Amino acid sequence: MKAEHFRFDFRIFNSIFVPINSLIMKHVARLFSVILLAGAGFFYMSCDDDDGGKSEEELQLDKLKATWTLQSANDGTDRTDEYPNMTMTITGTFASGGTYNYSSDADSWPSVSPWKAVDTWKFKSGSVGNTIIRQTDLLEMDYSLTNSDKTLTISFNYSGTGFNNGRTESVDGDWDFVFTRP
């Protein structure tokens, strides 16, 4: 007997396995791309926001601590001229629920004012981003920062005898003090 040679017909193999191999490679490439994209997303999300884990109170204090220059004082009437060249400096070292300082200076001061030249204040609990409480009279003062945190507006309703022992009627009402910093 003569040895018969077995011949394998590769056309059948190629018609079945090559398309399957191509399909697998296409899906593997897509799956690898999705995994790579998801990994990059998780890496980006895990990056720190550079706030160093600071609380909202500490972040707000950092924004407020500066020397601010008065741009306007208004109680329905422009009173800016009564506070010529007024500056306000906010200072303090962060402590949760802490008390901080402000001091104001001007070339002259009105005989009566709802604005105390030197005082301490705290953030209002639950409203750290928009309300401070002046400690002398526990007056709640709303504040807002605009213009990339370079404009500070402090608004409040004052009712009392005023500071510097003036007449009450001259300072009662809604006040807005607008400050800027460089």
What global pTM score does this model have?
A: 0.69
Q: What's domain 56-180's architecture?
A: Beta Barrel (2.40)
Cα separation, 55 vs 97, in Å, equals 11
pLDDT at 168: 47
Averaged pLDDT for residues 148-163? 91
How many other C-beta atoms can be found within 10 angstroms of the C-beta atom of residue 127? Answer: 12
Residue 137 near residue 30, CB atoms below 8 Å = no
| Torsion, CA 58, CA 61, CA 66, CA 67, rounded to 10 | -160
Find where tokens 């306000």 sit: 88
**pLDDT, tens digit (0-9, with 9 covering 90-100), for 82-129:** 999 999 999 999 999 999 999 999 999 888 899 999 999 999 999 999
Residue 164 near residue 109, CB atoms below 8 Å = yes
Q: Within a 13 Å sphere around the CA of 146, how many CA atoms are in the beta-carbon half?
A: 6
**pLDDT, tens digit (0-9, with 9 covering 90-100), for 30-75:** 766 767 676 666 666 655 555 578 999 999 999 999 999 999 999 9
Q: Where are the domains of the chain?
A: 1-47, 56-180
Q: Is it the case that residue 174 has pLDDT exceeding 60?
A: yes
The residue count of the chain comes to 182
